[in-house]
Chains A and B, each alone.
Chain A
């Protein structure tokens, strides 16, 4: 590791100014739980680390009638300890509450999880299925990018030098909807997903038919993947074992995993199918209340 300056600006503009000054030798730090690990492993040589936790806007967490706004620096525990979020955004809580253990969750947040862009990031699939949008600030203003387009490769995102993620905006889910996320890990905690699946379903008022669905897959491609065809296949179908099994099988096809030390292609495809079935059922249960 290389000695670096620690900067803790109080505003978005100041943060962007420092980032622009150092170019790719500076990085924002939210919880630091990815950043410090990578810095120590010499993935980057940094001259400055820009702590974003003193910028009020980035620490804001608010639940309103039109949706949920998660500041880029908000730690996971604030998300899963908020009763309104637990009630209305259970799929996001599923992700936030399995990232690391209690120490990690006290520092790390969904913003850092998204910007880190790991294919296995447990916070990302839930955000994708809820149709969340990333708000990004730069010296030329604010822009919005759907979370499903945010990651462009392993550890790669749409962010450019001088960009700062401000918040993640999650639209308020409609009535009769539900969502869930899970991952398969060989151990029971503190592990990296061999495969992960997030599901959001919108049922009709009878609760017996799918109106729409969004399904996203983790650890089975270079980025978390929105399996759009799989989700769309459920629209208009009745909720039954057959329709769920058919979607699970489509999810298997949508997965494009590799074989590595964490699992084989065959195992990961199998897991995607199994977890998709399980998560559709859980999302349906939640949608029915």
Chain B
């Protein structure tokens, strides 16, 4: 049975904007990130990386490196434990230890440029780098494939000889196709045959990167007792522990992961990269080993989100009702299977009610880095295709695209493209809020000479996950509360957690001191990802706080010599049900606990289904220089159903941050691949993410449809906002220049071409 909650409004702490608990340490530079780690006897590790995107390793000679002064350990693929092929759920995506191990260190074959072939630990970074240059590797270079079309050709070079692909349930071998899935409902062909309007278009997108500022890092100590201690920047200490233990083939209890502060992740810091390598180097050298990735390797070897090829076909009746849709979706997985075609299928039609639908998705290997989750993995891609097609359908039929979206909006009971039926959702409320928003009702304004303006809108969706979380509370004698929870804090979640506790206990947000625990100080907690953290860990905090109230009622019962069932608790004050004037506040009670049974602690843990479906619609105004093709975003508004905003400033931050990443993806970001499989732009100079100077203030309209699955109505909010920007901008560009773009990035060069 899933508990449901009535919406409330009379909150004391929820909905306020306290300063974040980690704010001072972050602003003053005192917060400890992975790069700050220092331990006695610490040495440095670096990787030797493949210059080729696809090659057989004929031989590796490490003798010259090993002989160098200051070098403590050298490892190659031969030092990696042989992990079995086993699929484990990591919350936002799965991991197969065999592939995960192979991704970190090549076996007898390199599959992407930058693939590690050896690693070295030395007294300092520069000695390690010099030793790395002394490792000689003999390669037999193979032809590489860097897009889904080439990868699926008959004579394509095969990345993984032992891969068995799953083609709608049939095994296939000698293939780059890891999986082909299908979801089909209704009579698709019949619906298209009777449709009054149809459209069919192909869309293509390049890989893009999460672009977190802090590079991947890890410090590891494999001690004499065979315990492995790891300090790292991760989106989940426990999922990191699962991966490290699985790759190293040891029991999870042998591994202790201490999560450090995170300089951004966006999904990319769910997979581990350096942690197992640092551990093996530590075992060999008997010293703690620290590794910090260089920026080019961050781009070339970690986390991009899939590039995609998509064909969307839509059908509508004469009255503007969507009746049929098909989506063919090919996603680049990179060098191992796992391209998020599942989430893509869940998201592609989610904003619409369509009776007859088919989705085909293909998970395709290419000689590029293995993709990692990136904010709503798979959803921005399909949103670009679907929302562009919706607008084009409306243009051709002469329909207002906002009204069309309202008329066809999904609601409670609508079937999603993968078959799931929606419970209470806010798509319609969001679209109504767009219709009445200041932005939508303001004129676009005239462009200066030589420029053109356009406005576009688009929907976006993410399903938001629930999963497992844990929280512990302990009362201090001064009336404050220590909170230990398991969610690593990327976007201010510590404060949101403290606010859950404070709301229950009737104390201030700053009376709660939140700490993110390591894997030996708190119960299992899933990743900070899937937009689950405030929802699920907040729920665990709420439970722990309610449990603490029960513990404290017992203490009040001792104090007043009554039965604990006769103690009431309201707004931070305990009272006697029998004698209403008999009261004691939370703080006063905290000071008396020593005489009332000693320390008062509690715990809360949850395993939840979903964090509630998240829908949003964005409005983008663009201005394009017709001579240079340059696009400026002149006004931008995010409208989203956020459930209840626990800390509205952080919710706004999520909406703005998602929009900014989507804008970058729309306009300039891409993996610019050379023919030989090298990424040409693996630096922040040439991988062009927007800066503050490229953006207007992103306005937000928070629609609050409380989520009945959470005590305060919290809904996941962090991922949905990256989905609408790409199509909203594509639709705006079309209005500005009269030509539609079907490929990202929609940069100045492609706009110039379109203007020709």
A residues whose Cβ falls under 8 Å from a Cβ of B: 1-3, 184, 186-192, 194, 260-264, 266-267, 270-271, 274
Contacts and interface: CB of A to CB of B under 8 A. Distances in A.
A99 to B, nearest CB: 13
Contacts of B748: 184, 186, 194, 267
A285 to B, nearest CB: 16
Contacts of A188: 691, 693-694
A261 B685 contact: no
A270 B752 CA distance: 9
B686 A187 contact: no
Nearest to A42: B129
Contacts of B691: 187-190
Contact of A192 (B126, B686, B694): B686
Which of B680, B681, B693 has the largest number of chain A CB atoms within 10 A?
Answer: B693
Nearest to A278: B627
A189 B693 contact: yes
A3 B630 CA distance: 43
Contacts of A274: 627-628
Contacts of A266: 752
B690 interface: yes
Contacts of A192: 685-686
Contacts of B685: 191-192
Contacts of B627: 270, 274
A259 to B, nearest CB: 10
A170 to B, nearest CB: 29
Given A2-B130, A194-B748, 8 more contacts: A2-B126, A187-B690, A187-B693, A188-B691, A261-B680, A261-B681, A263-B749, A267-B629
Contacts of B628: 184, 270-271, 274
Contacts of A2: 126, 130
B130 to A, nearest CB: 7
A266 B628 CA distance: 12
Nearest to A268: B749
Contacts of A3: 126
Contact of B694 (A184, A187, A194, A263): A187
B11 to A, nearest CB: 41
B654 interface: no
Nearest to B631: A186
B742 interface: no
Contacts of A270: 627-628, 752
A266 to B, nearest CB: 8
Nearest to A3: B126
B668 interface: yes
Contacts of A194: 748
A106 to B, nearest CB: 18
Contacts of B752: 266-267, 270
Contacts of B693: 187-190
Contacts of A260: 680
B583 interface: no
Contact of A186 (B126, B129, B630, B680): B630
B129 A1 contact: yes
Contacts of A186: 630, 667-668, 688, 747-748
Contacts of A264: 749
Contacts of B694: 187-188
A260 B685 CA distance: 14
Interface in B628-667: 628-630, 667
B672 interface: yes
